[in-house]
Every structure is written in C-alpha cells, then in structure tokens.
Chain A
Amino acid sequence: MENGVSGQGRTNIKSISNRLTLADRFGHFLARLGYKRMGHRVEPGLYSLGKPDSDSPVFVTANYTLSFDALRSALTMDCYILALDTKGVNVWCAAGKGTFGTEEIVNRVESTNLGQIVGVRKLILPQLGAPGVAAHMVKKLCRFKVEYGPVYAADIPEYMKERKATPEMRRVRFTLWDRITLVPLELVHVIIPTLAVACLLYILAGPLAASSAIVASFAGAVVFPILLPWIPGHDFSVKGLILGGVAAVPFAVISLSGAGGTTGYGSLGRALCYLAGMPPVTAFLALNFTGSTTFTSPSQVKMEILNYIPAMAWMFGVALVMAAALSMASYF
C-alpha cells in the first residue's frame, strides 16, 4: 500500500502487480462458471502498478475481476488504473447499462483527486467502454481528455508505442476460444431444467425420450456456441433449428427401427415427435445465445423473436400433443 499525498487530501492508492496468481486464475474459472455471478469484484478506486509518477498514463476499467485482471496483466509500464464502480459487470455490458459511464468517470476522478496526482489530464479507456461514455462530455465536466485505447487489453503495449490503434485493434472478434469460454455458463443455465425434464420423460416415456431432452439442450448450449460460424443459415433461430434437426435424426431412426418397443404407426409417431420436439428446444437456446455474441443487434434479436418464436412454439406444441396421444393410445 502507498498513499499519494495531494493538495486537498490523501487519496488511497492501492498498489497492485501485473502478475496473476493461481488464486486469481481460480477466481476467473469460477466467474466463467457463473459461481457467485455478481461477486467477482475489485474495490472501485485508484490503483498503482509499478512506480508511476505524475507523467504516467491512467487506464480506466470496470471493477469486474475478469476486466480488471485482463488490463493489469497486459500492462508492462508504470501506470495508474482507475477502477469504476460497475457493480462487478464487465466493461462492455456496463457501458451498455451506463454504469461504465460519463457520470461515474467524472465522480471517480473527483473522489480520487486524480487531477492532483497526475499532471497529464488524460484517461485511456477501453474502446468497448465507449457506449457509456461521451468523451466530449468528460472533457467538459472534469477537463480530462478521454482517449480510447484498443478493444483488447493485450494490444495495449503495441498501442502505447505511438498512442495509435490500428484498424485491426479497433475490431472486436468472436473466436473459437471466446465461444468455448462461454460454454460452461450456458451449460450451468440449462443443466437443472434439462435434468428435471429428462427425469420426467424417463418416467413417462422411457430412456430414449429422456436422452432426447438432454441431447436437444446440450446441442443448444454446448454444440451451438462452438459450431456457430459453420452452421448454415444467417439467423440464429434457423441455425438452431438445423442443428436440432440433425440431433433429432438418430432418435427418429431408432424409433423407426422399432427399438422403442412400438411398430407401425406408433414408431412413426414417435419419430415425428423427436423431429418436431427437439429442434425448437435447440433453436430457443440458440436464439438466447445472441446476447453473448459480439455482433448481434437488438433489431436482429427482435426480428428473430417475432419471426421464429411462434414457429418454435407450434413445433413444440405439436410434438407434445402427439406424444400425449401416443402414450394414451398405448394404453388401449
């Protein structure tokens, strides 16, 4: 800990390292799993890395550990970090909500006496903070110039050489690895309802029906994010229906082969149940993945909800009615 003494008062500047410990990494792992989702926070305020002086740059970030740690582990120079109170939400989402915003920056600059600590009145913000921050308003309200750095903290050392981001540094990506890191949380969201439905189906209709629930939901929560760019179609719902359809084929084939214990119309009906019932489940989960991507617009999501949710509901409803009719018929 070190204390920066300034003209009007003492600012508590916490000293931190750019090295991530094993405990930090374990915390990231828990965050990725969604464990204590809103609890991965650092204290908002001013931090020092290395031995910064009044000429050192100031980087602004969110008080979410994944954001804060991505920044500090990428920094190789003596500098300050100003952590805003975003309630433990990452930079981009917090900017969308306005908590990573103009007002919070201005207040935080004042409460930390930043103007007395640094001589250069400049703040380097992550580019993805921009939806919440009006750079010209920050300048007007607290006379600090906002400079938008690159999208990814890893590009900061390169950026700092000429204080210029290449067009490539300004683009957000959505790589295979990015998508894989989202899978655990998707899985955590669906696992309990899926197992509950599977248990119910096991009692009502047997092991094949139970596993169809698990497969449809696994396809939407795990396979879909990973295969996203390679599944045909543009709309997420269409991609989901295709993936769910593919997942339903083996169930239809098994039913038709008579392995479900029925023959003739009974097995055909069961096959149709899988083909109608599984794709909408996968597609619904696929549609909900839009919010996790880095490129879908609210307009597209609204269009998809309007255009595809009724179709998904109909398909699923038909499957339910057919399944109910089949199970009743089996009693006669």
Chain B
Amino acid sequence: MTVTQNVNTLCYEPGLCINCEMCIIVCPHAVFAPDGKVVRVANGESCMECGACQVNCPVAAIKVDSGVGCAYALMWSAIRGGGPAVCGPGEGSCC
C-alpha cells in the first residue's frame, strides 16, 4: 500500500522497492529505514522534499514534489502567476 504524508508530498510504493537502500543513503533526515525485504518510511514528517530519494531510486518507488524552499522565490512565483519558483544567480537568499 502506498505510504503518504500529511505535511509533505512524499509518496512511497513499497511494492516496487528492490531494497537497494539508496534512499536510506541519500536522505539527510533519516526518513527511510531498513525493514527486512523492503525499506520502510520511519520518519516521514521529517521529509524536506529535497528529492534526493526520488532521483536516486532506480525503480521509481518514491515520488516527491521537490523544489525551492525559499519563501521569497515561492511568493514571487505566486505573484507572477504560478510559474516555477526559482532562486539563483542574482536573487534569493538560500544559496
């Protein structure tokens, strides 16, 4: 059964997991943990949606809407009419 969270967009499909544990390796907040034959979500509410697990999952068992966490960037994108939020060269305080 798909594992989802209330406070973020992390979505994990244990049925697809091949137990390579890449998600455990790349997650900086220990969201995933080993659990026998497949990985389990141990700490889902700590997910910051960086997207590392999704990108490194070779079987696409993890989905998360990753993106910029800068409030300025998100507000600007909202003001400009919902385009993608970008921070980067010349603007933003996050990097």
Interface residues of A (CB under 8 A from B): 37-38, 87-90, 92-97, 127-128, 130-136, 148, 151, 165, 167, 170-172, 185-186, 189, 287-288, 290-302, 304-305, 309
In the complex, the answer to whether B55 meets A131 with C-beta atoms within 8 Å is yes
- Mark interface residues in B49-70 (1 if CB within 8 Å of A CB, else 0): 1111001101000000111111
B48 located at the interface, meaning its Cβ lies under 8 Å from any Cβ of chain A in the complex: yes
Alpha-carbon distance between A14 and B65 when the two chains are bound, in angstroms: 39
Total contacts A-B at CB 8 Å: 129
The yes or no answer to B11 lying at the interface (CB within 8 A) is no
A96 close to B28 (CB less than 8 A): no
Asked whether A134 lies within 8 Å of B55 as measured between CB atoms, the reply is yes
Interface 1/0 per residue, B1-42 and A, CB below 8 Å: 000000111000000000000101111111000000000000
B49, A151: Cβ atoms closer than 8 Å: no
* A291-B72 in contact (CB<8A): yes
Q: Quick check: B49 and A299 within 8 Å, CB to CB?
A: yes
**With contacts A291-B92, A300-B7 known, is A171 near B29, CB below 8 A?**
yes
**Is B94 in contact with A291, judged by CB distance below 8 angstroms?**
yes
Closest to B24 in A: A170
Q: Are A291 and B93 closer than 8 Å at their CB atoms?
A: yes
Tell me, rounded to whole Å, the shortest Cβ–Cβ distance linking A238 to chain B. Answer: 14
With A130-B55, A300-B8, A305-B75 in contact, do A135 and B65 touch (Cβ < 8 Å)? no
CB atoms of B55 and A299 under 8 A apart = no
**Closest Cβ–Cβ distance, residue A98 to chain B (whole Å):** 10
Within the complex, the shortest CB–CB distance from B72 to chain A, in Å, comes to 6
Residues of A within 8 A of B90 (CB): 37-38
Once the chains are docked, how many angstroms separate the CA of A112 from the CA of B70? 35
Contact flags B61-95 to A (C-beta < 8 A → 1, else 0): 00001111111111100100000011111101111
Chain B residues with CB below 8 A from A93, complex form: 87, 94-95
Q: Give the total of B residues in contact with A, Cβ under 8 Å.
A: 43
Residues of B within 8 A of A (CB): 7-9, 22, 24-30, 46-52, 55-56, 58, 65-75, 78, 85-90, 92-95
Q: Report chain A residues within 8 Å CB of B78.
A: 305
Interface of A is mostly: helix
Q: What is the minimal beta-carbon distance from A126 to any residue of chain B, in angstroms? A: 11
Query: Which residues from chain B contact A292 at a C-beta distance below 8 Å?
Result: 93-94
Q: Which of B28, B30, B73 contacts A294 (CB 8 A)?
A: B28
A148 touches B89 (CB 8 A): no
Check A290–B56 contact: CB distance below 8 A: no
Asked if A298 meets B74 with Cβ closer than 8 Å, knowing A89-B88, A128-B28, A131-B50, the reply is yes
Do B95 and A297 touch (CB < 8 A)? Answer: no
Q: Is the pair B66, A131 in contact by a Cβ cutoff of 8 Å? A: yes
CA separation between A56 and B83, bound complex, in Å? 45
Q: What residues on A are CB-neighbors of B65 within 8 Å?
A: 298-299
* Contact partner, A299, options B9, B22, B51, B94, Cβ 8 Å: B9
With A290-B69, A291-B73 known as contacts, the answer to whether A131 contacts B93 (CB < 8 A) is no
Q: How far is the CA of A186 from the CA of B75 in the complex (A)?
A: 18
